[in-house]
Amino acid sequence: MRSGLFSVSTNSAAEFVDITEQARQAVRTAGIEEGILVLFNPHTTAGLTINEGCDPAVRLDLLGLFRQLISKSYPCRHAEGNSPAHALATLTGSSVTMIIAKGELRLGTWQHIFFCEYDGPKSRKVFWKVLQG
């Protein structure tokens, strides 16, 4: 199998969930030695990013900085009231792409992959596809 999906459950209104192991499992499932892994998040109030994963304070700092960038006091017109979550999702984007070399993700020493929840808690999904290179 070279494509699939996995679930991500979030527990807070805003949080970064480390999904690095799920991405590694997708690569193992695909059985590809060389290629590219694409992760795609189909939700408009959540994102994906690659960033520092060893110090949990970085995730908290990013969320705090994002809260300062996107003001909840802005008079948004979107009736659901979650426009700040849509804006935050735009900042992080809906997909990430990684190189696979020797059957492993080519991540930097400190890099982890995060599902970025901005409108939780929710049950979400992430689609993955491995392309052989």
How many CB atoms are located within 10 Å of the residue 48 CB?
A: 21
Decide if 49 contacts 117 (C-beta within 8 A).
no
**Cis previous bond, 75, omega within 30:** no
Q: Please indicate, yes or no, whether the overall pTM of this predicted structure exceeds 0.85.
A: yes
Give per-residue pLDDT as tens, 34-93: 999 999 999 999 999 999 999 999 999 999 999 999 988 888 889 888 999 999 999 999
Q: Which of 3, 7, 4 is nearest to 132 (CA)?
A: 3
What is the distance between the alpha carbons of residues 19 and 6, in angstroms, rounded to a whole number?
10
The domain over range 3-132 is classified in CATH as 2.60.120.460 = yes
- Looking at residue 105, its pLDDT comes to 98
Cα within 13 Å of Cα(73), Cβ side: 2
Given a cut of 90, is residue 131 above it in pLDDT?
Answer: yes
Q: What percent of the chain has pLDDT over 90?
A: 91
Residue 101: enclosing H or E segment and its boundaries?
Answer: strand 95-101
The structural domains of the chain, with segments of one domain joined by +, span: 3-132
Decide if 129 contacts 36 (C-beta within 8 A).
no
